[in-house]
C-alpha cells in the first residue's frame, strides 16, 4: 500500500450510519451492545482490518464483509471487536470460593462411581481463567487424580482461543500466579523473544478448548458443576443477559455454581438461583 493510501486510511471516517450498520450486525450475531460511545473504539480497531485488506473506506469494508462467502472476514471483524482483557486468578475471591466451598463439597457429595466433575469457562478469552480453574482443582480437589475432571473453555474470539489452546504465556502474564505454582504447573522455554511459560500436561489433560458464540445453540449436553461467565455479560443488554442466565441454569447440576464478573449482578433479572455472595450464585 502506498504512503498516500496509508495517510488516507488514518483519516478514514466512520459515519454514524456505517457505525450503526456494524453495531446492528454485531448485536444480532453475538449479543454485544456497541453503544454510540464505542464508535471511536470500533473505528480504531477496524481501521487495522481496512489497512490489512488495502481498503480505503468503511463502505468498502462493510461490502467486503457482506460479500465474503467464506465468512472469514466476519470472524476477523468480530475478533477485532472483542475485548479479551483477562489475567490469571482474576477476582481472586472466586478461586478462594472454589477452593474452600465448591471443591470440598463436590468431593464429599459426589459418589466416585459418577466421578465426573465438569467446569465451563464461558468467555475464557486467552485462557487464563480456565488455567486458573485447572490449577485450583489440581491443588485443592481432594484426591484429584481419582476424579474425571473436565474443564471446557470457550470464547467467541478465534484469536483468543488459539492462544488459550497453545497455553503459552509471556512472563508478564504470569505475575498474578504465585512463584511456587508457576514452577509447579508451567514449563519454561527460552526463545529469541525471551522466556515463555507453557502450561504442563497435568493442567492441559483436563482441558478442552473451542470457539463458541454464546448466542448460538450449544453442543454440550452434559451438566456442569461450575460455570464461570465473568466480564462477558457486561457487553450484552439485559434481555440477552436474562436469556443467558436461564440457559446456564439449565446446564448446571442441582447444587452447581455460577460465577459472574464483579460488575455483573443478576439484579433486575428473574431467576431461581440462590444468592451465595456477590457474583456467586447456586442452583438449589
Give 122: exposed, middle or buried? Use CB within 10 Å, 0-12, 13-18, 19+: buried
Q: From the CB of 271, what's the least distance to ligand SAM, in Å?
A: 20
CA-CA distance, 47 to 51, in Å (whole number)?
A: 6
90 binds ligand SAM (CB under 6 A): yes
- Which residue in the block uniquely carries the three cell numbers 446492528? 24
Question: Does the active-site annotation cover 114?
Answer: no
Q: Report the residue from 83, 101, 158, 165 that binds ligand SAM according to the rule CB under 6 A.
A: 83
Q: Which stretch binds ligand SAM (CB under 6 A): 17-25, 65-73, 104-112, 212-220?
A: 212-220
Per DSSP, 11 falls in state T
**Member of 261, 264, 279, 281 binding ligand SAM (CB under 6 A):** 261
Catalytic residue check, 16: no
Rounded Cα distance, 81 and 45, in Å: 7
- Among candidate residues 49, 90, 155, 230, the one labeled active-site is 155
Long-range contacts from 20-28, C-beta under 8 angstroms, 24+ separation: 21/62, 22/46, 22/58, 22/62, 22/77, 25/65, 26/77, 26/78, 26/81
Residue 110 vs 262, nearer CB to ligand SAM: 262
**Sole binder of ligand SAM in the list 21, 84, 101, 282 (CB under 6 A):** 84
| Stretch 163-202 residues interacting with ligand SAM (CB under 6 A) | none
Helix (H, G, I), strand (E, B) or coil at 223: coil
CB-nearer residue toward ligand SAM: 64 or 218 = 218
Beta-sheet pairing, 207-211 with 148-155: parallel
Nearer to ligand SAM, 155 or 225 (CB): 155
Using the rule CB under 6 A, which residue among 12, 22, 26, 32 binds ligand SAM?
Answer: 32
Phi (first) and psi of residue 157, to 5 degrees: -80, 120
Give the DSSP per-residue string, 175-213.
Answer: TTS-HHHHHHHEEEEEETTEEEEEE-HHHHTTEEEEE--
| Contact status: 264 vs ligand SAM (CB under 6 A) | no
Pick between residue 62 and residue 82 the one whose CB is nearest to ligand SAM.
82
User: How is residue 147 annotated by DSSP?
Assistant: S
Q: Which is nearer to ligand SAM, 30 or 258 (CB)?
A: 30
**DSSP secondary structure letter of residue 143:** T
Let me know how many helices (H) and strands (E) the chain has, helices first.
12, 10
**Distance from first CA to last CA of the chain, Å, rounded?**
60
- Which residue lies nearer to ligand SAM by CB, 215 or 242? 215
Q: Which stretch binds ligand SAM (CB under 6 A): 59-67, 135-143, 208-216, 248-256?
A: 208-216
Map the footprint of ligand SAM across residues 117-156, applying CB under 6 A: 123-125, 129, 155-156
**What's the closest the beta carbon of residue 121 comes to ligand SAM, in angstroms?**
7
Query: Is 240 an interacting residue with respect to ligand SAM (CB under 6 A)?
Result: no
What is the contact surface with ligand SAM in residues (CB under 6 A)? 30-32, 82-86, 90, 123-125, 129, 155-157, 160, 213-215, 230-232, 235, 261
- Active-site residue list: 45, 155
Amino acid at each position: 500500500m502506498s504512503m498516500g493510501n496509508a495517510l488516507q486510511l488514518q483519516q478514514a471516517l466512520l459515519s454514524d450510519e456505517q457505525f450503526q450498520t456494524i453495531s446492528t450486525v454485531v448485536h444480532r450475531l453475538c449479543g454485544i451492545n456497541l453503544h454510540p460511545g464505542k464508535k471511536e473504539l470500533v473505528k480504531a480497531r477496524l481501521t487495522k482490518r481496512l489497512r490489512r485488506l488495502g481498503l480505503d473506506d468503511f463502505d468498502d469494508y462493510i461490502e467486503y464483509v457482506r460479500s465474503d462467502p467464506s465468512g472469514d472476514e466476519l470472524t476477523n471483524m468480530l475478533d477485532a471487536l472483542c475485548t479479551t482483557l483477562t489475567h490469571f486468578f482474576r477476582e481472586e475471591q472466586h478461586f478462594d470460593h472454589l477452593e474452600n466451598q465448591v471443591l470440598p463439597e463436590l468431593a464429599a457429595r459426589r459418589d466416585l462411581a459418577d466421578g465426573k466433575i465438569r467446569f465451563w469457562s464461558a468467555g475464557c478469552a486467552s485462557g487464563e481463567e480456565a488455567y486458573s480453574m485447572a490449577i485450583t482443582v489440581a491443588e485443592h480437589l481432594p484426591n484429584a487424580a481419582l476424579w474425571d475432571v473436565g474443564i471446557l473453555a470457550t470464547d467467541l474470539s478465534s484469536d483468543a482461543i488459539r492462544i488459550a489452546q497453545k497455553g503459552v504465556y509471556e512472563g508478564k502474564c504470569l505475575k498474578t500466579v504465585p512463584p511456587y505454582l508457576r514452577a509447579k504447573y508451567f514449563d519454561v522455554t527460552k526463545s529469541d523473544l525471551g522466556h515463555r511459560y507453557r502450561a504442563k500436561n497435568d493442567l492441559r489433560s483436563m482441558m478442552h478448548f473451542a470457539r463458541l458464540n454464546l448466542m448460538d445453540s450449544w453442543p454440550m449436553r452434559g451438566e456442569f458443576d461450575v460455570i464461570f461467565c465473568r466480564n462477558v455479560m457486561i457487553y450484552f443488554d439485559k434481555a440477552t443477559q436474562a436469556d443467558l442466565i436461564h440457559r446456564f441454569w439449565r446446564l448446571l447440576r442441582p447444587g452447581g455454581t455460577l460465577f459472574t464478573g464483579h460488575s455483573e449482578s443478576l439484579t433486575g433479572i428473574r431467576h431461581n438461583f440462590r444468592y451465595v455472595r456477590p457474583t456467586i450464585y447456586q442452583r438449589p
